[in-house]
Structure 1
Amino acid sequence: MIDPMGVLEGLLAQALLTAVAAVAVYLLVSRQRRSFGSAEDRATLRTLALATSTMGALRRGLTARSAAEVLPEVAEQAGAAVAIYDSEGLLAFEPGPPGPADGHRLHLEGDTAAVLEALTTGRLRLLAVHDEAADGCGLRAAAVAPLLVNDRPVAALVSYHPQTPGPTSLRITSDLAELLATQLRLQQADQQRVALVRSELRALRAQISPHFIYNTLTTIASFIRTDPDRARELLTLFADFTRKAFRGPQDEFASLADELVYVHQYLLFEQARFGERLTVRYKVEPEVLNAIVPTLVVQPLVENAVKHGMESSTGRGTVSIIAEDRDDECWIVVRDNGRGFDASQLAGGEGGGALANIDRRLRETFGPSHGLNIDSLPGTGTTVRMRIPKYRPGVHRS
C-alpha cells in the first residue's frame, strides 16, 4: 500500500535536493570560470535554465528524446562533451562547442561496454577513452557518474575530457548527475501518486457497486410488468452508468459539470426506487460548472445522503445539492434531512469509509484547510460542505 503522506514528503525532499544540486553546480561552475568576472548573473541563469529544462523533459521519463533535450544545457554547465546512457546503452551524446570532442561520435560504440560496467557499480568512475589520438578525436578520459533512483543505478551521465579531469570537473559531473537523478526520482514519485489516486478511485467504485447494483436491478425488475417502457429506459441508463463507473482507472480530476451529470444519473435510479418518497433539489450556479474537482468527490456524498436520509426511514426524504460561486472558490454542499449521525466519530480520519477517503484527497490536493466540513447529529440530518479553489497549479483535467 502506498503511503500518500510518504509520497508527498518524498516530493518535497526531492524538490529541495534539486535546488541544492542546482546551487552546488552554479558555485562550482562560477568558481572554475573566473574569466566571467562580473557576469555571474549569466552563470546563475544558465544553472536555473538547466534545472527548468531537465524538470520539464525528465519528468516525462528518461528516453532518447528527453536525454537529447537536456544534454545541450548539461554540456554547457559541464564545459565538456557529455552523454547519457541507460542500462541498455547510449541514449544521447552532445559534443558541446567545437573542439576535441568533434570526432568522438565515431567511437561511441566502443565506450558502451566500459560505461555499462561502470554504471553497475553505482559509483563515480574514471575511464580511459583513447590511449592515443584516434581519427581526429582529442578525448582521453571520461567520468561516469551514476543516476541513482531508490539507491539503484538506472542511468549514467558521462563527461568527456582531453586529459584526466581534476577534482572540480569530477565534482561538477557528479552534481549534474544528481540533479538529473532528482528529476527521475520526482517522475517516479509522480507515478506513485497517480497509482495511489487510481487505487482510491477503484476502492470508491467497489464500495458503491454491490449494494447499488442489487437495488437498481430489483427496481428495474419491478417495472417490467407494470411499466415496460420505464424498465427499458432505466436499463439503458443503467448500462451507460455502469460503463462509466467500472471501466479502467479514470482521470484524477474532472469538471464539476461532469461530476454532476454522474450524480444526476445515480439519483434517477434512486428516485425510481423510492418513488415520491425521495425529493431531490439542485441549486447549481452556472459560474462554477467549469470548476475542476477530484474525480468522485460528489457522488459518494450523495449516496451517503440517500442512505442516511431514506434507507432507515419509512417517511419522505430530501437530498439537496448546492454549488455556489464564492469569489475564487466553489462551495459545494450536500444536505439530507435523514437520521443523522455523530460526526465526531470521524475525527482524525478514522472510520467514515468514503467520507474519510474524500476528506484526505481534498486536503492533499488543495491544502489542509480544504477538507470536508461535516455537520450532523443524531436526528437532525446531515450537511457536508467542501470548498474548491477555482484555480490551483497542477489541478487540471488530463
Structure 2
Amino acid sequence: MIHLLPLMLERVGIIVIIAFLLSQIKSFRQIIQTDRGVKGKWLLVAIFGAFGIVSNYTGIEIKQNALFDNTWLMDVDPDNAIASTRNLGVGIGGLLGGPFVGFGVGMIAGIHRYTLGGFTAGACAVSSILTGIVAGYIGKRYKKRHGITPWFAVGVGMAMETVQMLIILAFTKPFEKAWTLVEIIGVPMVIMNGLGILIFMYIIQSILREEERTRALQTHNAFMIADRTLPFFRRGLNKDSCMEVANIMLQLTEADAVAITNDHRVLAHIGAASDHHIPGKAFVTGLTKDVLNKGTVMTTRKKEEIFCFHDDCPLQAAVVLPLKVHEKTAGTLKMYFTNPEKLDRVEQELAEGLARLFSTQLELAEAELQSELLKNAEIKALQAQVHPHFLFNSINTISALCRTDIEKARKLLVELGIFFRSNLQGARQFIIPLEKELEYVRAYLSLEQARFPHKYHVSFRIEPGVEKALIPPFTIQPLVENAVLHAFSKIKEGGVVDIHVCTVGEGIHITVEDNGKGMTRGELEPLGKKTVKSSKGTGTAIYNISKRLEGIYNMKAAMHIHSKVNAGTKIEMIVPLKRSR
C-alpha cells in the first residue's frame, strides 16, 4: 500500500499538468467560465471523458498483490486489476457540469475501463458511471445553494472513491481476492484522487477568479468609455461626434477597427481597412445591413460572412451591434478584428454593454434636444410678447405727432420701420451684440422724445470695448420704456434715466436707473416673478426679461431690482461675458 502512493502521485501529477495546460487555452477557459448550453455540456463530456481515458491508460497494473509500474497500459490480464485516477475526471466533470455531463463522462471512462479487462473491469465500469451521476446531482443541488468549493469537491471525490471500493468488494469474485486488492489500493486511491481533485479544483477556481477580475476590468473599461464618449454622443449621430467616439473605442478595446453608422451611411471608421471603409459613403459590408434590418447583435469569425466586397480587406471577424433610440435602430456600432481569436467572449460582452450604453446616451441626447427646442420655443414666445408692447406705444406717439408735425411723423415712421426690421432679425436670435441692443434703445428714445422733448434726459455710460459683448435682445429697451412710461408719469420735466454697462470679472454688469416716483415694497415684491397688471402696456416686460435670462443662461445670470418711493428705481442685470467674433 505504501509503495503505491508515490506511483499514484505520479499519475495525479500527469492529470494536473494536463489540467494546467488546458487552463491556458482560451477555448477551455471559456467553457469553464460560461453558462453551458447543450454544446458546452457535450464539450465538457468530451474533455473530462478524455481525462478518464488517459487515467485508464496510465493506470498501475496489480498482479498477485504485486505492482507493475508500466508506462502505458493497453490491456489488463483477466487475473489482474489496475489502480488509476479515473474517478478524478469523472467526479469533477459531474460536479461542474451536472448529471448529464457526469453520466456522459462516467460512460466514456467506465466503458473504456471495461474494454481494458481485468477481474475488476465490470465493478470499475459501474462505479465510474455511478460516480458521474451522483457527483452531477450533488454538484447541481449544492452549486445553487453554496457553490462548489475545492474542499467540498475533495469530500465528494473521496466519498465516491470509497464507494468504488465497496462496489469492488460487493461484485467481484472471489471475495478474498477482492479484499486483498482493496487493502492494497483502497487508501492510496482515496487519498491521491482527493489530492488530485483538490489541485484540479484550485485550477478551476483560479480560472473563475480570473473571470471575475476580467469582468471587473471590463466594467471599468465600459464606464471609462461611456464617460469619455458621453459629451460626443450628446451631440447625436453625426460625423464629428462618431469619429471621436470611434477613436476612443479603438484606444480602449482590443478591436483593430471601430466603425459607427447611422441607418444609411458610414459616419466613422477608424483603424484597419480605412482605405475602403470610408466615412460618408454607403455601407461596404452586408453584415451592417442585416443588423439594421433585424435590430439584433450579429457576430462572425469568418471573413466571408462580413460581406466586404474588397478582395484585400484585412478584417477577419466582427461584432456588429444595433444602436437603438426608442426601440428603433438608428445606426450600428461595429468592432472589427484582423485575427478571429481576438474576438473572444469578453470583447463581445463589452461591445454589447457599450451598445446598450450608447443607445441610452443617444436617447438622452434626443431628450435633451427636445427639451432645448421646447425651451427655445418658450423664449421665442416671450420675445414675441415684447413686440406689440413697443409697437402700440410707438404708434400712439406717431399718431400724436401726425397732428402737429407731419414731416417729423413721416421720419419717425421710417425709423420705426427700420427698427422693426432689425427687431425681427433680433427675434430670430437668442443673443446679439450690445451695440445692436443700444441701437434699439436709441431708436425707441427718438420716438418717445419726439413727443416729450423736455420730460426726461437719458445718459449712456458704456465701457469702451464692451459694445461687442453678447446679451439677449430686448433686454435694456423694455427697462428704459418702463422708466419713461411709469417712473415719470406724474412729472413734466427733470426726469433722468442712466444706462450704465461695464464688465465685472467674467460678467457684464448692466444698470438702468431712474429718479422717478419709485415703488412701494408691495409693488416691488412680484416684479420678475410673475406678470404684473399695468394700466399701460402688458405689464410683462421685467418678467419676460427674467425668464429669458433664466432660460438662456441656465441660472448663471441674475437680475436685482431696488426701488424707493419718490427716490427712483434701479434695475441691475449680470450676465456671463461672451463676445462676438
Q: TM-score, normalised by structure 2?
A: 0.50
2:335 maps to which of 159, 163, 166: 159
Tell me if 1:126 matches 2:298. yes
8 Å Cα contact 1:111/1:129 also seen in 2: no
Residue 340 of structure 1: aligned partner: 519
Task: Report percent identity of matched pairs.
Answer: 32
Structure 2 match to 1:255: 433
CA contact (8 A) 1:201 1:296 kept: no
Q: Which has the larger radius of gyration?
A: 2
Residue 110 of structure 1: aligned partner? 286
* TM-aligned CA deviation for residue 202 of structure 1: 2.7
Counterpart residue number, 2:94 = none
Structure 1 residue 68, shift from structure 2 partner: 4.7
Question: In 2 relative to 1, CA 363–183 (structure 1 residues): closer, same or farther, beyond 3 Å?
Answer: same
Deviation, structure 1 residue 188: 4.0
Q: How far, CA to CA, are the matches of 2:375 and 2:333 in structure 1?
A: 33
SS at match of 2:452: helix
Distance in 1 (CA, whole Å) between partners of 2:506 and 2:283 is 59
Aligned to 2:475: 297
Q: CA deviation at 1:150?
A: 5.5
**Preserved CA contact (<8 Å) 2:518 2:566:** yes
Amino acid aligned to 2:519: G
Unpaired stretches in structure 1, ≥5 consecutive residues: 1-23, 33-43
Question: Which residue, 269, 277, 286 being the options, matches 1:94?
Answer: 269
Which structure ranks higher in relative contact order (CA pairs < 8 Å, sequence separation ≥ 6)?
A: 1
Cα distance, 1:373 vs structure 2: 0.6
Q: Which residue of 2 aligns with 1:354?
A: 541
Residues in 2 aligned to 1:388 and 1:367: alpha-carbon distance in whole angstroms: 11
- Among 492, 498, 501, the alignment partner of 1:320 is 498
Distance in structure 1 (CA, Å) of the matches to 2:239 and 2:395: 52
CA distances 1:160-197 after superposition (whole Å, capped 9, x unpaired)? 34269434212432454466557645754664465355
- What is the Cα deviation at residue 242 of structure 1? 0.8
How many angstroms does 1:384 deviate by?
A: 0.9
Q: Could you tell me which amino acid in structure 2 is paired with residue 147 of structure 1?
A: L
CA contact 2:470–2:579 (8 Å) conserved in 1: yes
Deviation, structure 1 residue 91? 1.6
* Kept after mapping to 1: 8 A contact 2:437/2:474: yes
Q: Distance in 1 between matches of 2:254 and 2:350?
A: 9
State the Cα distance separating 1:241 from its structure 2 match. Answer: 0.8
DSSP-derived class of the 1:384 partner? strand
Name the structure 2 match of 1:144. Answer: 320
Give 1:237-248 correspondences, 5 Å limit.
Answer: 237-247=415-425
Structure 1, residues 326-364: CA drift from partner, whole Å, max 9, x if none? 4554321112313525221247x3335332343344356
User: Quick check: 218-227 or 174-183, which moved more?
Assistant: 174-183
- Partner of residue 382, structure 1: 569
Q: In proportion to residue count, which structure has more strand?
A: 1
Q: C-alpha distance in 1, partners of 2:276/2:558?
A: 60
Kept in 1: contact 2:243–2:270 (CA 8 A): no
Report the Cα offset of residue 82 of structure 1: 2.7
How many residues are matched? 346
Letter aligned with residue 126 of structure 1: M
Specify the code of the residue in structure 2 equivalent to 1:340: M
- Report the CA distance shift for 1:29/1:339 in structure 2 as closer, same or farther (over 3 A): closer
3-state SS, counterpart of residue 526 of structure 2: helix
**2-structure distance, mates of 1:163, 1:91:** 26
Give 1:338's aligned amino acid. K
Tell me the equivalent position of 1:13. none
Change (3 A) 1:143 1:259: same
What is aligned with 1:21? none
Gaps spanning 5+ residues in structure 2: where?
Answer: 1-213, 533-539
Task: State the secondary structure of the residue aligned to 1:147.
Answer: strand
Alignment of 1:43-62 (within 5 A): 51=228, 55=231, 61-62=236-237
Q: Given residue 154 of structure 1, which amino acid in structure 2 is its aligned partner?
A: A
Aligned match of 2:254: 79
> Over aligned residue pairs, what C-alpha RMSD do you find?
4.2
CA separation of 1:377/1:110 partners in 2, compared to 1, >3 Å: closer, same or farther?
A: same
- Segment drifting more, 247-256 vs 189-198: 189-198
Q: Which residue of 1 aligns with 2:559?
A: 372
